[in-house]
Amino acid sequence: MGRWKPDARGRLERAALELYTDKGFDATTVAEIAARAEVTERTFYRHFVDKREVLFQSNALADVLARATATAAAPLAPLEVIAHVLTEAAPVFEERAELVRQRQAVIAANPELQERELAKLASLGSSLDRALQERGLDSATAALTAEIGIAAFKVAFARWIDDPDQHAFAQHIRETLDATRQLTAPAEHAAATDDTSLQDQENGA
Amino acid sequence: MGRWKPDARGRLERAALELYTDKGFDATTVAEIAARAEVTERTFYRHFVDKREVLFQSNALADVLARATATAAAPLAPLEVIAHVLTEAAPVFEERAELVRQRQAVIAANPELQERELAKLASLGSSLDRALQERGLDSATAALTAEIGIAAFKVAFARWIDDPDQHAFAQHIRETLDATRQLTAPAEHAAATDDTSLQDQENGA
């Protein structure tokens, strides 16, 4: 296995993502991941329970969200707490943008991994819900705020992953939350727009 | 199996939900479901692929959502489309409230079924997204509107399921969407509230 190198865990993760990308998740074995990372299989199992866990290892995000929710300044409105929390979480993704994009492509190619990802997002939503209640929000408001927060996170994340201009994740979060405010603002039926013109617009779309 | 009775599918569904509730989902067999419904196993398999499918059979909801999105009046703002769509979907649940509550308790008791339920909700979100784009919304707005719609649906559904006063699902939808508008309205930092008083409030909570 050659001489000892530092950061076995990081090398295992990068090796796994390369193999999942090249060969597919199902066709990759732990032995191959260990060989590419230049460690033994035993070392792999010291860091991860199985090859799926390489993709879903991190409680880092849940920790960041819970801490940011607890420490957000007191007079913030619920959606401002969400804005603060998601902005605090942005570096978790930006610092490892390339690995995050690789990981997302692997998950998108595999329905079983997608279900696992949805379960993980739902569990993030529950953590956010609890953290909001600990801030003093009533349970109905906390549940709704948490769901809207996760909805905004999903949309901002998808925009960031697909952004050809590679704008910062934090910018996509801001834009998504601004769009949320606009979407949910009381509708003003523009006086200048009557049914016919909108119909034309839709037909042209 | 006694004389022929109508509505084999409905009886199979009710029998399955009773058994899942009494014995648990894992411990129930298709043979038991068929026996309780007074049909043969062959009849069960004419209606359902397996015992899980009894819980996730219906495309009715996706159809209702897509049709309601397509037919909502043209000048509605995105959140008003969601309000219309969810209100149209309410009877799907209210007409069979008892079965829906039984089903939800079975799913809540089983992590594997919960993952399936999350996947189904995500797929409803995708249908809603497509239907909104077909109305002429740009893809960014459609994606965000669909996610917020599913978030509001989840919260309204949970409130309805747990409501001791059994108010109508449509009412929970209205209240949840009103709360969404309030939550996401631009914050007004109440002049009367300073940090200290809010702090006191939170400590007292």
Share of chain B above pLDDT 90, in %: 58
Tell me the CATH architecture of domain A59-184. Answer: Orthogonal Bundle (1.10)
Q: Which of A148, A163, A188 to mutate to test the interface with B (most CBs of B within 10 A)?
A: A148
Q: Which helix (H) or strand (E) holds B101?
A: helix B97-108
Q: Which residues of B touch A135 (CB under 8 A)?
A: 202
More confident position, A202 or B23 = B23
Q: What is the pLDDT of residue B190?
A: 39
Please state, in angstroms and rounded to a whole number, the distance separating the CA atoms of residues A130 and A124.
Answer: 10
Please state, in angstroms and rounded to a whole number, the distance separating the CA atoms of residues B130 and B116.
Answer: 21
Please state, in angstroms and rounded to a whole number, the distance separating the CA atoms of residues A193 and A3.
Answer: 72
pLDDT category, A5, cuts 50, 70, 90? confident
Q: What is the pLDDT of residue A125?
A: 93
Partner-chain residue, chosen from A119, A181, A199, that has the shortest CB–CB distance to B184: A181
Residue A188 three-state SS: coil
The structure's pTM equals: 0.81
Residues 6+ apart with CB under 8 A from A148: A79, A82, A180, B148, B151, B180, B183, B184
* Contact call for B75 and A198, based on CB within 8 A: yes
* pLDDT (tens digit per residue) in B21-75: 999 999 999 999 999 999 999 999 999 999 999 998 767 788 888 888 888 887 7
Q: What is the pLDDT of residue A187?
A: 53
Question: ipTM, 2 decimals?
Answer: 0.79
Which residues, numbered 31 to 90 in chain A, qualify as contacts with chain B under a Cβ-Cβ cut-off of 8 Å? Answer: 73-80
Residue B4 has pLDDT above 80, yes or no: no
Domain with CATH 1.10.357.10 in chain B: 59-184
B83 φ, ψ (degrees, to nearest 5):
-60, -45
Q: What is the pLDDT of residue B20?
A: 97
* Contact call for B80 and A184, based on CB within 8 A: no
* Contact call for A184 and B79, based on CB within 8 A: yes
Residues 6+ apart with CB under 8 A from B155: A140, A143, A144, A147, B176
Which residues, numbered 110 to 139 in chain A, qualify as contacts with chain B under a Cβ-Cβ cut-off of 8 Å? Answer: 114-116, 118-119, 122, 135-136
Which residues, numbered 135 to 174 in chain B, qualify as contacts with chain A under a Cβ-Cβ cut-off of 8 Å? Answer: 135-136, 140-141, 143-145, 147-148, 150-152, 154-155, 158-159
Partner-chain residue, chosen from B79, B135, B199, that has the shortest CB–CB distance to A202: B135
* pLDDT (tens digit per residue) in B143-186: 999 999 999 999 999 999 999 898 999 999 999 999 988 887 76
Please state, in angstroms and rounded to a whole number, the distance separating the CA atoms of residues B121 and B96.
Answer: 19
Contact present, A173 and A180 (Cβ < 8 Å): no
Nearest CA in chain B to A192: B75
Q: Give me B120's structure tokens.
A: 């189904």
Domain with CATH 1.10.10.60 in chain A: 8-47
Please state, in angstroms and rounded to a whole number, the distance separating the CA atoms of residues B9 and B170.
Answer: 27
Please state, in angstroms and rounded to a whole number, the distance separating the CA atoms of residues A97 and B35.
Answer: 56
Is the CB of A193 inside 8 Å of chain B's CB atoms? yes
Residue B119 has pLDDT above 60, yes or no: yes
Choices 1.10.645.10, 2.70.98.90, 3.40.190.10, 1.10.10.60: CATH for A8-47: 1.10.10.60
* Contact call for B151 and A151, based on CB within 8 A: yes
* Contact call for A187 and B119, based on CB within 8 A: no
Please state, in angstroms and rounded to a whole number, the distance separating the CA atoms of residues B12 and A110.
Answer: 33
Partner-chain residue, chosen from A119, A143, A144, that has the shortest CB–CB distance to B118: A119
pLDDT category, B188, cuts 50, 70, 90? low
Q: What is the pLDDT of residue B198?
A: 34
What is the total residue count of chain B? 205
Contact present, A44 and A107 (Cβ < 8 Å): no
Nearest CA in chain A to B159: A140
Residue B194 has pLDDT above 80, yes or no: no
Please state, in angstroms and rounded to a whole number, the distance separating the CA atoms of residues A66 and A51.
Answer: 27
Residue B187 DSSP one-character state: P
